[in-house]
Structure 1
Amino acid sequence: MCGRYSEKNDLKKIEDQMKLRLSEKAKNWKPSFNIAPSQLAPVVTSDEPDLMDVFHFGLVPHWAKDKKVGYKMINARSETLLEKPSFKPLVVNNKRCLVLADSFFEWKKEGKEKQPFRILLADREVFFFAGLWSSWKDPDGEIYNSYSIITTSPNKLMEKIHDRMPVILTREEEKLWLDPDQNPKDLLKLLNAYPADSMEAYEIEHDASNKKWNDYNPCEIQCDH
């Protein structure tokens, strides 16, 4: 699964690099070393592929009775996207999105202990996870936009740490994932593990499972990898 990740870059920098507009909410969003479920984070949706907005991490389907369901839907398995009633309509109806990140965290079991790792790309400072998004209306009529990160089987680097990993898209795949004219079944072919030789992983001392941990830069502590 992918339950914690980071995006420490100022979105103004991203706006200039990627030629994206920022929504008003995105303009006020603060970079985070530890994005946790329910928190707001940057996304680009298929509805407005030239706009970066901020949605809540953890998908809340439009039919949900309570937004707390989002804590159980932070991830969507690529292998069953077109089988699950919560996700199939989003894939088919182009409710697809890109989730901005610069790294993600995962925990390796070592006996009774779990060692946290930070994983990033060797050749790209920022990248996008493949995601799905939805809009939910609360009892007061307020719109709550949210998303889920798609996961897949691990590559050779990640399988030493965990049995799942988020789907990271290449630049060309990002365009295809948002393209409304793509056949949903063809899109499933994009949801593979990113090449292991283009990724890096190292142990970190702080436990990213604590969402209060967000004032520490994991880049400062590295080990051999």
Structure 2
Amino acid sequence: MCDRYIFVQKAGVIRKRFQVFVPENIQWTPSYNIAPGKYAPVIISQQPETLLHYIWGSVPFPTKDKNLFVSHIDAKDLELPAPNTSIRYLIQQQRCLVPADAYIQGTKGHGLSKPFLVYLRKKARPFAFAGIYDTWLDEITGELIHSFAIITTTANELLRRLPCDRAPVILLHEQEKA
């Protein structure tokens, strides 16, 4: 499971690669350490032509505890319990692309002596993680909160050697429009 990722592309590369408008009001700074609870760029299914800035971490509704962002950063694919209709709805209706260059495996209690940088072969960057997003109202501040989580799957044979049991779903370019 990745709990940090890297995205250092400039607006021009993002525009060209994902064919999106990058609004000037997005305060995007390329980062080698995107962590849960931080804002990061996403492309949502409801507005596929615009890059948006959402918080990484999905807070389960209803809650008032923003600290839960850190504990809900991924959504397991095909292992979701049948009664969890809110997650199923998000996967069906509120998908997003999470642009990235690489991710860091092993930064929290993974039994590794050091973290590993994981990226695509032939330096195919940027790419997109599959994600889900949600928008909810903070009842204390009245602020609309836009958040996302990265969909994960069972790690492949190469990643299991780290050891690693989960990995983010990385989409092929042709899957990004689906």
CA distance in 1, matches of 2:64, 2:86: 14
Deviation at 1:79, TM superposition (A): 2.3
CA RMSD of aligned residues (A): 2.1
For structure 2, the residue ranges without an aligned partner over 5 or more in a row are none
Contact 1:81–1:91, Cα closer than 8 Å, also in 2: no
Contact 1:45–1:97, Cα closer than 8 Å, also in 2: yes
CA distance in 1, matches of 2:165, 2:155: 6
Contact 1:63–1:136, Cα closer than 8 Å, also in 2: no
Structure-2-length-normalised TM-score:
0.88
Contact 1:61–1:136, Cα closer than 8 Å, also in 2: no
1:137 — aligned with what?
137
Deviation at 1:99, TM superposition (A): 0.5
CA shift digits 1:158-206 (9 cap, x unpaired): 1111111100001111111xxxxxxxxxxxxxxxxxxxxxxxxxxxxxx
Contact 1:2–1:105, Cα closer than 8 Å, also in 2: yes
The structure that is helix-richer by fraction is 1
Deviates further, 8-17 or 143-152: 8-17
Where does 1:206-217 land on structure 2 (aligned, <5 Å)? none
Structure-1-length-normalised TM-score:
0.71
Count of residue pairs the alignment pairs up: 173
State yes or no: 1:149 paired with 2:150: yes
For structure 1, the residue ranges without an aligned partner over 5 or more in a row are 177-225
Deviation at 1:14, TM superposition (A): 1.1
Larger Rg: 1
Contact 2:2–2:106, Cα closer than 8 Å, also in 1: no
Contact 2:106–2:112, Cα closer than 8 Å, also in 1: no
Alignment identity in percent? Answer: 36
Deviation at 1:85, TM superposition (A): 4.1
